[in-house]
Structure 1
Amino acid sequence: MKRLLTVFIAFVFCSAQLKAQPQLFQSEWHTDPDRVWVGPEYWANPMEDWRVENGRLECVRGGINRNIHLLTHDTVNVEGTFAMEVRTGRLSRDHEKGSVGFRIGIRDEINDYRARCIKGKGIDIGLSHDGFLFIGKNRSKQPIPEKALNDLRLVMRGETRGPFFLISIEALNVSTGSSYGFHAARLNDKGIHGNLALVNNHTQGKARFWFRDWNISGSKVQLHKDRAWGPILWAMHTLHHSGQGHVLKLTAQMPPLGHSESSEIKLEFYDNGLWSTGLVTHIDPLSRTATWRIPDWKADQEHPYRIVYGKSRYEGLIRKDPTNKSSLVVAGFTGNQDKGFPNLEIVRNVGIENPDVLFFSGDQIYENVGGYGIIRKGVEKPVLNYLRKWYLLGWSFGDLMKDRVTICLPDDHDVYQGNIWGEGGAAMQGGNTSTDGGYIQHPEFINAVHRTQTSHHPDLPDPDPVLQNITPFHGEMVYGRISFALIADRMFKTGPKAVATWKGRADHLKDPSYDVRQLDQPELALLGVRQEQFLESWVEDWRGSDFKCVLSQTIFANLANYHGAKQEFIYADLDSNGWPQTPRNRALSIMRKGHAFHYAGDQHLPSMTRYGIDAWNDAGYAFCVPSIAAGYPRSWRPDQEGRPTQNRVNGPNTGEYKDAFGNLMTVWAIGNPETKYRPGRINTLHDKSSGFGLVRFNKSNQTIDMECYRLKLNGGESKNEDQFPGWPLRIHLTDNDGRKPVGFLGELRIEKVKHAVVKVYDESDDSLVYAMRIQGNRFRPWVFEQGSYTVQMGDPDLDLWKTWEHQTVKP
């Protein structure tokens, strides 16, 4: 006992010397305006529960484990000392339970400061609502006076001593510096290191506290100035070759700033050694986005840019349009749970591949991302709740996005729904977000989500809002001589209650004997009339492009048949876009007219399929990419069931099948998850089939290469097993229309056109049969039925065409 007392007396004496050390960090909330965002040095959990108000930080909603991580400083694994202090006091009623103080040594199995902010664990130190000081589970024997909790200083001191780490916590009178109480403990871990945080309610209660004057010092404290984040968080842009030249659109994502702060923000470009006069726009007060549209863009050269807000700068690069590049590379992503945050493996490996375009197909966030649940009611609070989750995507991928064209398509979880059956923007009448039609959130919330994810996309060809004044986002981007159709494949989709006659979930049919033909009714919608009309126009317009590619949330087939942690068998999932069947086939019929490749995600199951409409393989190919971080696992295991197949193409579970809705499909590759998962979050995500996709559009020979990488890829040194079974795959542009010709028309030729576009029309109804760009200026068109045809051949960019009418099949 005497020896322990001597240790603590020495510790207290040593700790007193820490006060003389220079402060390495001092909070400056007393100089900040009132606002939700607590500053670039911090990450707030959850952001919507905190405010800077009247020169101090306040927790405005009580709850467990509200905390503020410091980004710019942490403690390192060396022997030494450190100290923290903060002035704090009670905001809520005296009787509310809770605690206030610090968390130190915050670590996570993913060794990154951002991961620690979301998933990290540490040592709790502080003061309980009833006045007891504590270090971990060790509490002081006597409480401090109750009134002291209204305004006091909490001081934590720590140092290594041999194999131990000695810690004390003291509560001090703000005016006199006298001690209300002192508590100390010895920990069997001399290497305490990691993030540092303030905490409101460590483990229980709804008490609310305010904070100011957070100071940190000591030899174990390390500065990381580069980790400060904001106020310009990240930016996304597109570059589109329109009929009137190139158009650049760029959106900066901002945090929730204060009403007294400027809404003006500038975009500048570096040219001839100087930064240009800034183009000014305003920050949207709800989505906190700022968007610029710049027509007549000089796309034949690269342009460094910077976004300027006050004294803050954010820099990136607009690459030149890679029209002369032999291949355009598009990296594909979907489904981003936070268990892999900040996605170090994918960000690193995608950076090594250096794609031209980033394509996020949906579920950029899930409702559980970042913890603390979701907020349904109202507009402002739900949007703040969403933004906190959305910010994680930019915190992970922002460094890739700032220099590359990025497409981002919102899906169901992005708007807080298990599934979207958008029904043209209708308001949801029930409350089941998995099976009820329409949108459950306020339409202003939906539009704010759309602005954060799509406002940088090219101008919409059909911008009129749908029901509830919800904004659409389907349109086109032509970049690198690839024409992309951006589709909202669930915004107009009919809900399953229109057809479900079975018990249980309306979207899950479990009875294999059910006659699925009953589910195909004439009034049902998939893409809807507006998007079908857009696609009809798009497949015919080949200005500036050599390939066509449809980008959407998911594929048009019901491939996955085992769902969830228990791999429950579900015969037919109406959320898959294999249903409704007739509009599914109608969409595929339009797409194959342009030989369009389909690139999508959402299924949590990487796959490569070829569509069939009237016969197997008579339509195009579809690539469903793996999840960034898979949560809900799905698999396709027909061999295990003994399901009949024909013409097996590429190993187990491949070949020609009918899906549960009777749709024809040929499975070329499948990336099923493992049946058992290894411990460790990254191992588990890898075993659940997480990863990313790459598509290379090879313009020189009109081929498309598809690659599908597992999560734990060693980029730059990849092996065959680093891709899922069946990949890589290569197809030709013409493979995206698999109809069998009955014959050929006569050979046609046009002068003064290097690589002509050919359009074939059926004269019986003037409908487009197909269109494509050929290699050269001489072509013999094929047709699929006997009849009379009109053929156009020419250069759409010059509007130079030659037309042949009344063409028929020649021997």
Structure 2
Amino acid sequence: MNLMMNKLFVTLTLACLLFSCAEKPKEQIPPVEAPFSDVDTLAINDWWNRGDNPIIDLKVGRDSVVAFGIYTVHNKVLKLSAQLYPLYPEETREVRLEIAKNGKWTEIQKQQLNDIGWSALFRVADWDDTRDIKYRIRHGEKAFFEGLVRKNPTDKTEISIAALSCNSNKDRGMRENYVRNINHQDPDIIFFAGDQSYDHTEHTAAWLKFGLQFKETFRNRPCVAIPDDHDIGQGNLWGENGKVSTSPGGPDGGYTYHPEYVKMVERCQTAHLPDPYDATPIEQGIGVYYTHLILGGVDFAIIEDRKFKSGPEGKIPQQGPRPDHIRNPDYDPASIDLPGLTLLGDRQLKFLDEWGDQNPETLKVVLSQTGFCGGAHIHGSLDNRLHADLDSNGWPQTGRNKALRLIKKAGAVHIAGDQHLATVIQQGIDEFGDGPWAFVVPAIVNDYYSRWWWPEDEKPGAHPNPDTSLPWTGDYLDGFHNKIRMMAYVNPESSSRGGGYGLIRFNKTDRTATFECWPRYVDVTQADADQFEGWPITVSME
């Protein structure tokens, strides 16, 4: 009996020794710890331990980790951002850029990936912009993304740009209609005016989903993308030079979330833009990206509507239950247009002033997030009429007029998004019709917080548009008493519930801009495809 017990003891001891000596699974430790923990949780730190999410599957095959590339070329400088899916700790952070040369791929640059946002930037000077050049972004042995850097279309009489905004997560499906239509119309450049993401605190996952939806529209053409309020996690943004916002909803001005999160969003969406006009950071070390891009003889100024704008809370008399909504139609508009309030800020006004005087032979276009007036009456639902919304660039009025004078001096038109309501408006500064033309394009998805142009008296203004059956066009005062001439609008009862995109054609010979507005569910490859009522509209850029 004792012998049997001894043998059992020895057997158990050997088993324990063998088990304890067996190699344990190696713990995966993130090489970079994010400076925040309450945002971008799906893609930071030990991201592989997260469960499924409703946005996108981040655990892709390792031959698919290069999600997309996005680029511009300006003044013979290529800037191309590589966007990857999250990587495991043991995977290399090196990404490589190759171009097709003499029938084979040639590596021209390597860059290190940033674990915060999973992007890297290639900057190539002395780029040959006289010919199309194929490029390839590579990671490891098998993962790659291939596209085409187009030549500068200087020989074309007409330059076109597709413009989109507001990619609501109420519809997480693919965007096949947009991809088909835009690639068929083949614009020279594409512009995403903001709100590419509505998943406020999960930008990396949402930006990757945006790429999955739209990468085929910018794989082979340059792209301008600028973030708006939803991209950086806020319903509205009054950036106020980068200060910290402490009021729910941000009406006190500033940014709600960690500055490194804001910087990550801007890095992923805008690092590929031409170098900033003045790269001096604002408060909290947040960067700037306002700049310009010349393509094919058209000079695009890219500005930041929100970054320097004053927040209304505590600075003006509150006119309703929210500091940014005015519901009292009898208020005095001058009471909210006070000294010290900022819209674009002195830095961007200086930029627009100098930009307007440069390259006078080019056609000029301003790209930004939102419109310089209150172009909507009803917000979200038919029972929610607002007299004025301080989220728009209609306020502060003095700052609005300063910006419009500079845009008008440049002979530029303005293209924007944000409003969930497509409009063509000729702005008025001192008189009706003395300001620049503006096209605010539709929302990509307009099933979320639609807006209506619906004057309370349901009457047309003076000088109505004779070329449309729309009932409410002509001269109006918006809720800030800004002068506007409404030429066309798309209320949500329209085709595709008012969702869609804009296409703008710039004719360099005639010096005109033609605004086109296409419904989401129309098929432009068909001969009977119709734009929204009121479009197209052609305006002079002289």
Instruction: Give the TM-score normalised by structure 1.
Output: 0.59
Higher relative contact order (CA 8 A, sep 6+): 2
Letter in 2 for 1:707: E
SS of the residue corresponding to residue 537 of structure 1 reads helix
* Residue 480 of structure 2 is aligned to residue 664 of structure 1: no
* Residue 500 of structure 2 is aligned to residue 688 of structure 1: no
Q: How does 1:560-709 map to 2 (within 5 A)?
A: 560-630=376-446, 631-638=448-455, 641-642=457-458, 645-649=461-465, 650=468, 651-674=470-493, 687-709=496-518
Q: CA deviation at 1:437?
A: 0.9
Q: In 1, Cα distance between the equivalents of 2:388 and 2:409?
A: 29
SS of the residue corresponding to residue 264 of structure 2 reads helix
Q: In 1, Cα distance between the equivalents of 2:118 and 2:199?
A: 20
Q: CA deviation at 1:416?
A: 0.7
1:532 match: 349
Q: Deviation per CA, 1:111-134: give whole Å up to 9, x if none.
A: xxxxxx759xxxxxxxxxxxxxxx
Q: Deviation per CA, 1:306-327: give whole Å up to 9, x if none.
A: 1111112211100100011121
Q: Deviation per CA, 1:551-596: give whole Å up to 9, x if none.
A: 0001101010101134410001011111100110010101111101
Q: In 1, Cα distance between the equivalents of 2:72 and 2:380?
A: 36
Q: CA deviation at 1:527?
A: 0.2
1:325 match: 156
Letter in 2 for 1:665: I
* Residue among 706, 725, 729 paired with 2:537: 729
Taking only the aligned residue pairs, the percentage that are identical comes to 36
SS of the residue corresponding to residue 731 of structure 1 reads strand
Higher strand share: 1
Decide whether the 8 Å contact of 2:165 with 2:417 is kept in 1: yes
Q: In 2, Cα distance between the equivalents of 1:526 and 1:477?
A: 22
* Residue 127 of structure 2 is aligned to residue 278 of structure 1: no
Decide whether the 8 Å contact of 2:460 with 2:471 is kept in 1: no
* Residue 516 of structure 2 is aligned to residue 711 of structure 1: no
Letter in 1 for 2:519: R
Decide whether the 8 Å contact of 1:50 with 1:58 is kept in 2: no
Decide whether the 8 Å contact of 2:460 with 2:472 is kept in 1: no
Decide whether the 8 Å contact of 2:43 with 2:86 is kept in 1: no
Rate the CA distance shift 1:515–1:551 in 2: closer, same or farther, 3 A: same
Rate the CA distance shift 1:688–1:280 in 2: closer, same or farther, 3 A: same
Rate the CA distance shift 1:430–1:456 in 2: closer, same or farther, 3 A: same
Q: CA deviation at 1:274?
A: 2.1
Q: In 1, Cα distance between the equivalents of 2:119 and 2:273?
A: 13
* Residue 244 of structure 2 is aligned to residue 427 of structure 1: yes
Q: Which runs of 5+ in 2 are unaligned?
A: 1-24, 32-39
Letter in 1 for 2:176: L
1:468 match: 284
SS of the residue corresponding to residue 669 of structure 1 reads strand
Q: In 2, Cα distance between the equivalents of 1:491 and 1:279?
A: 33
Decide whether the 8 Å contact of 1:268 with 1:305 is kept in 2: yes
Q: Deviation per CA, 1:691-720: give whole Å up to 9, x if none.
A: 010001111221111100011111211536
Letter in 1 for 2:522: L
Rate the CA distance shift 1:67–1:288 in 2: closer, same or farther, 3 A: closer
Q: In 1, Cα distance between the equivalents of 2:216 and 2:333?
A: 47
Letter in 2 for 1:717: Q
SS of the residue corresponding to residue 263 of structure 2 reads helix
SS of the residue corresponding to residue 448 of structure 1 reads helix
Q: In 2, Cα distance between the equivalents of 1:510 and 1:644?
A: 22
Rate the CA distance shift 1:708–1:525 in 2: closer, same or farther, 3 A: same
1:316 match: 147
Q: In 2, Cα distance between the equivalents of 1:46 and 1:536?
A: 42
Q: In 2, Cα distance between the equivalents of 1:48 and 1:406?
A: 25
* Residue 150 of structure 2 is aligned to residue 342 of structure 1: no
SS of the residue corresponding to residue 212 of structure 2 reads helix
SS of the residue corresponding to residue 724 of structure 1 reads coil
Q: Which runs of 5+ in 1 are unaligned?
A: 1-29, 37-44, 60-65, 69-116, 120-196, 198-210, 212-224, 369-373, 375-384, 676-685, 735-811
2:35 match: none
* Residue among 511, 515, 530 paired with 2:328: 511
SS of the residue corresponding to residue 693 of structure 1 reads strand
Q: In 2, Cα distance between the equivalents of 1:510 and 1:474?
A: 33
Decide whether the 8 Å contact of 2:319 with 2:327 is kept in 1: no
Decide whether the 8 Å contact of 1:567 with 1:633 is kept in 2: no
Q: How does 1:16-95 map to 2 (within 5 A)?
A: 47-48=42-43, 58-59=49-50, 66-67=51-52
Decide whether the 8 Å contact of 2:426 with 2:487 is kept in 1: yes
Q: How does 1:54-453 map to 2 (within 5 A)?
A: 58-59=49-50, 66-67=51-52, 230-241=64-75, 246-311=76-141, 312-338=143-169, 339=171, 341-367=173-199, 374=201, 385-433=202-250, 435-453=251-269
Q: In 1, Cα distance between the equivalents of 2:159 and 2:533?
A: 24
Rate the CA distance shift 1:294–1:671 in 2: closer, same or farther, 3 A: same
Q: CA deviation at 1:34?
A: 6.5
Q: In 1, Cα distance between the equivalents of 2:27 and 2:282?
A: 41
Rate the CA distance shift 1:416–1:670 in 2: closer, same or farther, 3 A: same
Q: In 1, Cα distance between the equivalents of 2:507 and 2:27?
A: 52
> CA RMSD for the aligned pairs?
2.5
Decide whether the 8 Å contact of 2:161 with 2:503 is kept in 1: yes
Letter in 1 for 2:464: R
Query: Whose Rg is larger?
Result: 1
Q: In 1, Cα distance between the equivalents of 2:133 and 2:46?
A: 38
How many equivalent residue pairs?
503
